[in-house]
């Protein structure tokens, strides 16, 4: 019996009887349990706040004390470590920068697996190597827990507005409950297949995003130097065959659009260093599978060079400024 979205929203917490019927949890989940959330960065902080807005109680952890304080001001309680989170709940979401961070949070000395309860639902929304997600899923299974990789697409604005797309890898039987929970933070939740396939979908998507952002930046730069007004050029592109998300939703040229990083000195958003990381994950997978991705390779080289400058901490659309200065 699948858990309905309405029931999840009304419950305010994950109810014990519901979870036990789906996951056959032990008696440790016989009471209503708050949700654990580890990783409160630009994306995770907004995602956690959306769960609070939906009526859930949260136990949060992050190495950044300011991020924890911000969530506590929104009504969450805090834990001293990921293991402490796992001791207090049987449903945990993680949102971390890289594979090594995920390994540390799950398998480290103070990691989730040190105290995870039998039957715990684990959802990792980090973007990492598919192989690491498969490894975490196997370790979770050995602990009696259920692990899903659920990376996201949409950026900080979508995280704030609960409009993320989740690409989920994991067992089909438990996916309905995962979907209902993630739907509180996003507009689309797609089951991609077994563990690791969510990550596979994400790195393919972000490789394409990196390529399209470079292409949009090149076209906007060229048009401006040819004497075109950038807003006019963007309006033409966005009603023509060159239209893409990088041009019509996240245009990299300053002043073309309001509310995007390019009009805020490229602050906020999705960091250039993170795009470099995701492009690296895609190229690593392509190399392992002997798959030719020449544009993806070139995009990685460009972002790698750019991130050796002071632009690494800016939004990835700063590639427009980088190309302009070359």
- pLDDT at position 276: 96
- Residue 156: what pLDDT? 86
Report whether 204 contacts 153 (CB < 8 A).
Answer: no
CATH 3.40.50.720 domain position(s) in the chain: 5-193
Spatial distance between the Cα atoms of 238 and 199, rounded to a whole number of angstroms? 30
Residues in contact with 90: Cβ distance below 8 Å, sequence separation at least 6, in sequence order: 19, 25, 28, 29, 33, 117, 119, 120, 121
pLDDT score at 254: 97
CA R_g for the chain: 21
Pairing of strands 164-169, 186-193: parallel
Is the CB of residue 164 less than 8 Å from the CB of residue 49? no
Closest CA to 122 of 104, 101, 143, 152: 143
pLDDT of residue 166: 98
Residue 230: which of 213, 250, 212, 255 has the closest Cα? 255
Report CA 316 to chain centroid distance, whole Å: 15
Topology of domain 5-193, CATH: Rossmann fold (3.40.50)
Q: What is the pLDDT of residue 5?
A: 33
CA atoms within 13 A on the CB side of 98: 10
Specify the domain boundaries for CATH 1.10.1040.10 within the chain. Answer: 200-325
Please tell me the pTM assigned to this model. 0.84
202 noted as active-site residue: yes
With residue 183 as reference, give the H or E element that holds it: none
- 177: which 2 tokens? 């409950």
CATH topology of domain 200-325: 1.10.1040
C-alpha span between 9 and 15 (Å, rounded): 11
Would you tell me how many other CB atoms lie within 10 Å of the CB of residue 266?
24
B/e letters for 91-104, b = 16+ CB within 10 Å, e = fewer, are bbbbbbbbbebbbe
- Dihedral pair phi/psi, residue 176, rounded to 5°: -55, -40
Distance (Å, whole) CA 84 – CA 145: 16
Q: Which of 49, 143, 179, 202 is catalytic?
A: 202
CA distances from 10 to 54, 75, 177 (A): 8, 18, 14
**Tens of each residue's pLDDT in the chain, 326 residues:** 333 333 343 344 344 333 443 444 333 322 367 999 999 998 999 999 999 999 999 999 999 999 999 999 999 999 999 999 999 999 999 999 999 999 999 999 999 999 999 999 999 999 999 999 999 999 999 999 999 999 999 888 899 999 999 999 999 988 999 999 999 999 999 999 999 999 999 999 999 999 999 999 999 999 999 999 999 999 999 999 999 999 999 999 999 999 999 999 999 888 999 999 999 999 999 999 999 999 999 999 999 999 999 999 999 999 999 999 98
- Is 295 within 8 Å of 288 (Cβ atoms)? no
């Amino acid at each position: 019996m699948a858990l309905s979205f309405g029931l999840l929203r009304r419950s305010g917490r994950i109810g014990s009887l519901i979870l036990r019927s789906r996951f056959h949890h032990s008696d440790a989940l016989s009471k209503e349990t708050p949700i654990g959330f580890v990783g409160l960065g630009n994306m995770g902080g907004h995602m956690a706040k959306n769960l609070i807005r939906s009526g859930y109680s949260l136990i949060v952890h992050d190495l950044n004390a300011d991020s924890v304080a911000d969530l506590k001001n929104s009504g969450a309680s805090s834990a001293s470590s990921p293991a402490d989170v796992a001791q207090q709940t049987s449903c945990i979401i993680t949102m971390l920068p890289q594979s090594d961070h995920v390994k540390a949070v799950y398998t480290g000395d103070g990691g989730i697996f040190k105290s995870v309860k039998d039957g715990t639902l684990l959802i990792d929304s980090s973007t990492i190597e598919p192989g690491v997600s498969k490894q975490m899923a196997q370790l979770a299974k050995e602990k009696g827990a259920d692990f899903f990789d659920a990376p996201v697409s949409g950026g900080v604005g979508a995280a704030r507005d609960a409009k993320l797309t989740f690409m989920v890898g994991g067992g089909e039987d438990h996916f309905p409950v995962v979907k209902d929970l993630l739907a509180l933070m996003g507009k689309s939740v797609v089951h991609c297949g077994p563990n690791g396939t969510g990550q596979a979908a994400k790195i393919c998507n972000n490789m394409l995003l990196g390529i399209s952002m470079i292409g949009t930046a090149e076209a906007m730069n060229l048009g401006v130097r040819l004497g075109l007004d950038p807003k006019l050029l963007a309006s033409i592109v966005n009603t023509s065959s060159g239209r893409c998300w990088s041009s019509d939703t996240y245009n990299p040229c300053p002043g073309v659009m309001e509310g995007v990083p390019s009009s805020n000195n490229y602050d906020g958003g999705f960091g250039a260093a993170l795009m470099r990381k995701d492009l690296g994950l895609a190229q690593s997978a392509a190399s392992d599978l002997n798959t030719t991705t020449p544009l993806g390779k070139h995009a990685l080289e460009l972002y790698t060079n750019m991130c050796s400058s002071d632009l690494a901490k800016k939004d990835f659309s700063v590639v427009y400024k980088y190309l302009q200065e070359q």
